[in-house]
Structure 1
C-alpha cells in the first residue's frame, strides 16, 4: 500500500530498515556519520598488512551499523617502487533478496610511480534505494612501496543533541565585585548570543550615593557585552522618593548599579533587582 503507519500495529510485519533509515536520516541528516559512543572506530595499524578498527556506531544514509568488538582488516601488500592509497570502509550491501548487511572492507587503490589517489567508492543513496552497495570511508592508508603509513581519519563525527543544546543555551558564570557582606545573585542563560539575566543585589550597610556613581556588583567571566553598555530600570525598596531612580547596567564584563537622581542616603539592607536582555560575545 502507498501509506503505512510505521509506528502503529498492523497485524503483520510491516516495518523494515528503510522505515527506520528514513526516520534516522530525517533527524540526524542524510550523510554518513560516526556517533560519539564506544571507541568511535579508533584505528591501530598493526603492521603493513593489518589494521584493527575498534568499536563504534555509524549512521550511513540513515542506516545504523555497529562494530561491537575490534575487527582486523587486511591490507594487500604494496609494490616496491610504487605508491598506493587504500581506503578502509564500512560497507553497506543489499542482495537480490533484499537482505542487508554491513562489514569492514579495504578498498584497494591503483599503484603508481607518481602521486597516489584515492580509489572510487560506491556512494549511491541507500535512502533513495538507488544502490545495493554504499561505502563509508573511515580511514586512508597510504603505502610507499611495502610500507604502510599511519591511517588518516576521513569520517565526520556527529555531536549528540545535548552538546548542540549546550552550545545554544549557555550559563553565564560570574564573580562578585560588591562589598563582601552584600548579597549578589546573577542567574540566567545565553541563547543565540543574547544574555537573559536576573540580577539581585541587597546592600548590607547603608551609604550615601552621589548622583550617577556606579557600584560594581559582579563580573561576567565567560561573556561580555557586544558593543556599548546597556542600562535597565531597577526595582528597589529604597523609599518612595527614590524608588525607580536606580538602574542596573552592564558594560563589557561588569554588572553595576547606578543612581540617576541627586545624591541621597540608601538605608541598610535594601534590595535592588532588574531583568537584563543584551547581546553578548564569548570572552
Structure 2
C-alpha cells in the first residue's frame, strides 16, 4: 500500500501542470512569458555588443549642448627596459606617423628627481595631439596607473597619446581610438597594461538652474544604463560618478566600480555652463 500510495502521489504532482498546458489560454500566456524573457535576454546581449563607446557620444549629444571637444587619452605601461633618447624619439615618431602626423624630431624634455618626460605636441585648426614618453624612477607611478596596487622599484616607462578634436561632428575620435589601440598592439603592449579615457565637453549659455543640471545628468546616465555610485549635486562642484556594464573600461574606488563621470561648472567670465561626460573619469582639469 505504501509503495502504491507513493506512486499515486507522484502522478498527482504532474496533473496540475498537464492541466495548465492543456488549457489553450494558459499555453498562450506561457508562450508570451517565454517570448518576453527571450526579448529581455536578446536586449541585454545587444547592449553588450553594440552599445559601446559610440553610445556614450549619443548620451552626450542628447543634452543638446553642442559638442565642443572630444578628448581621447591612452596611456600604456611600456615596461622596465632602459630607453635612450633616440629610442624615445623613435617611439614618438612611430605613433605620430601612425596617426598621420609628421614628426620633425623636435620634442621637449622635462626632468625632475622622479621622472623624465619627452613630449611632442602638434596643434592644428581642429585638433591637438600630445605624445609623451615618461620614465618614472623608484616606486612612483603616473596618474593613469595610480589604481595599481603593485609598485615596482627601478625604472618604469610609460607612453601616453592624448588627442583632442574640436567640434567633432563626425565622431572621428572613435576611429582614432581604434588606430591607437592597433599601434600599441603592434608594439606588443598587453591590453591589461593600457588605460583609456574618453571625454566630451559642451556648453550652454548662462548659469543653468540646478534642476536643469539634474535632468541632463540623469538623462545621460539613464541612456547608458548607469547606476550612480557617488554624487555631489551642488552648483559650485557638480559631479556624479556611476557604473554601467555597457562600457569596458572602469576603475575601482573603495571597492566600487566607476566608469562614468558627469560634471558641470559655471564659467563666469564667458557666462556659460560647461558640461562634461567621461569614461571612466575625467582626465585633467575641468
Does TM, scored on the shorter chain, surpass 0.5? no
**What TM-score do you get using the length of structure 2 for normalisation?**
0.23
Q: Which has the higher contact order (CA 8 A, sep 6+)?
A: 2
